[in-house]
Amino acid sequence: MRVLILGGTSEARSLATRLSRLPSIEVVSSLAGRVRDPRLPDGAVRVGGFGGVTGLRDWLRDNTIRAVVDATHPFAARITSNAAAATAQAGLPFAVVQRPPWSPVPDDRWVIVDTLEDAAAALSGLGRRVFLTIGRQGVEHFASVDSEFLVRAIDPPEGATPPLMTLLLDRGPFEVEREAALMREHHIDVLVTKNSGGELTVAKLTAARELGIPVVMIRRPPNPLGVTVFDTVDKAERWLLAVPV
């Protein structure tokens, strides 16, 4: 059985590794190509888009895919929507594996917003030195904010950027002590992040809590209605193994 895994997340790589060990399954992983030097999963890999819903549907048919797992970033809403529509048209089993979101704990100072635009607007009154950890996409929404920014991403952002910006190119996992030291070094007084969940980057939230720094937390977009969603790789693997050949 040939299976398509969408995404370059740690969950996608873990699932690809597990399935690649099974002689009954052939894995193809698809990466969007937005990261210049991605961590590649086990098995076959393709890079780039499909051309929307129709392009993905046709690709699934032409490559005899029997099931699709979307393990993309929780904020990759367009990819998830396209995959749900394409698999529905092709009559293929489809599921999403998505790590649980972070939740506030005592002493957290979260301001929860829905969009990047809302996050930029929320900065007024919260602080002047902003630690922006949303990745390279979407930084343009903060270009007109009158604050100093420390922007951390794997690759440099595209489009407009804040005039007062320090760019830090780095990728997780991060440690609490290092995150706290970074925030002190740059005199950070507000953190902006997406609710990605997971352990790789959660240290910044612990550091912000310990330092008493408010966090502007961007809420995840909803998954398409009716889609099967698993919160662990184990559950997604068991679901796949139950798909009729």
91-128 per-position pLDDT tens digit: 999 999 999 999 999 999 999 999 999 999 999 889 89
The mean pLDDT value for 197-201 works out to: 91
Q: Residue 39: its pLDDT value, please?
A: 75
d(CA 215, CA 81): 29
Q: Does residue 34 surpass a pLDDT of 70?
A: no
Equal fold, 2-100+221-241 vs 110-218: yes
Stated as kind and residue range, the H or E segment containing 11 is helix 10-20
Superfamily classification of domain 2-100+221-241: NAD(P)-binding Rossmann-like Domain (3.40.50.720)
Q: What is the edge-to-edge ordering of all strands in the sheet holding 129-133?
A: 110-113, 215-218, 190-194, 129-133, 148-153, 165-169
Q: Residue 172: its pLDDT value, please?
A: 85
Q: Crossing angle of helices 77-90/52-62, nearest 10°? A: 50
CA distances from 232 to 28, 29, 99, 100 (A): 20, 18, 6, 8
The mean pLDDT value for 194-211 works out to: 95
d(CA 144, CA 147): 9
Q: How many beta carbons lie within 10 A of that of residue 175, not counting itself? A: 12
d(CA 149, CA 129): 6
% of the chain exceeding 90 in pLDDT = 82
Mean pLDDT over each residue of the chain, to the nearest integer: 93
Contact between 3 and 221 (Cβ < 8 Å):
no
Q: Does residue 158 surpass a pLDDT of 90?
A: no
d(CA 189, CA 215): 9
Domain positions in the chain are 2-100+221-241, 110-218
pLDDT tens digits, one per residue of 211-231? 999 999 999 999 998 999 999
Residue 33: band (very low, low, confident or very high) from pLDDT cuts 50, 70, 90: low
Contact between 5 and 27 (Cβ < 8 Å):
yes
Q: How many beta carbons lie within 10 A of that of residue 156, not counting itself? A: 12
Q: Does residue 155 surpass a pLDDT of 70?
A: yes
d(CA 119, CA 116): 5
Stated as kind and residue range, the H or E segment containing 117 is helix 116-122
**159 is written with which tokens?**
């489009």
% of the chain exceeding 70 in pLDDT = 98
Q: Note the pTM of the prediction, 2 decimals.
A: 0.88
Assign domain 110-218 to a CATH class: alpha beta
pLDDT tens digits, one per residue of 52-65? 999 999 999 999 99
Q: Residue 126: its pLDDT value, please?
A: 93
Q: Residue 35: its pLDDT value, please?
A: 61
